[in-house]
Amino acid sequence: MERELEIRDSATQDRAAIAALYARAFPDEDLLPLVRDLLDDPGVTISLVAVVDSAIVGNVIFTTCHVDSIDTRAALLAPLAVDPASQRKGIGSALVQCGLQRLRDAGIGMVFVLGDPAYYGRFGFRQEASVGAPYPLPLDWADAWQSQRLTDAVAPLSGKLALPRYWLDPALWSG
């Protein structure tokens, strides 16, 4: 029987399950300090969880931000994690699509991501060359820095993505 997938905002009581999820999805990387900071800033971040049979099997977080001093509201998609036992079932895609719709509904004009273009390209992300990441990226990551426009109203932007302090760690941008 097909099991039902629910995507909803994460809640304080989901924290332990989210921490366990990141430990499984990123066994070689400790993203927990960043994830804690992101979840501690709900006025700025949108955190969605994927739930199957009452278990949290996925999480995506968006940080709202802007490009230098320009007024256009933007967002950064990261991190995204799906439990290894639940991967390749469309859960990551459902989290991303649901998050993009939430950003559109909030009037956010542009979204950025640093990730594999083979994955994020399917959601409409394309390489971003005019707006830079907070730190210079390794040269072979140029095509991993991507964006997409969420409304036609956004004028072409250039500058650098201005993010909250917890993103201002060069180690998060250097692989």
Ligand X SMILES: CC(C)(COP(=O)(O)OP(=O)(O)OC[C@H]1O[C@@H](n2cnc3c(N)ncnc32)[C@H](O)[C@@H]1OP(=O)(O)O)[C@@H](O)C(=O)NCCC(=O)NCCS
Query: How far apart are alpha carbons 136 and 139 in whole angstroms?
Result: 9
> Minimum distance between the CB of residue 25 and ligand X, rounded to whole angstroms?
4
Residue 154: closest CA among 85, 97, 103: 103
Task: Choose which of 41, 119, 162, 173 interacts with ligand X (CB under 6 A).
Answer: 119
Query: How far apart are alpha carbons 25 and 38 in whole angstroms?
Result: 18
The β-bridge relationship of strands 131-132 and 159-162 is parallel
Asked if residue 68 binds ligand X (CB under 6 A), the reply is no
In sign, the C-alpha dihedral spanning 171, 172, 173, 174 is positive
Task: Choose which of 34, 80, 131, 133 interacts with ligand X (CB under 6 A).
Answer: 80
> Minimum distance between the CB of residue 72 and ligand X, rounded to whole angstroms?
24
- Listed ranges 4-12, 37-45, 114-122, 158-166: which one lies at the site for ligand X (CB under 6 A): 114-122
| Residue whose Cβ sits closest to ligand X | 92
Query: What residue ranges bind ligand X (CB under 6 A)?
Result: 25-26, 79-82, 87-93, 115-116, 118-119
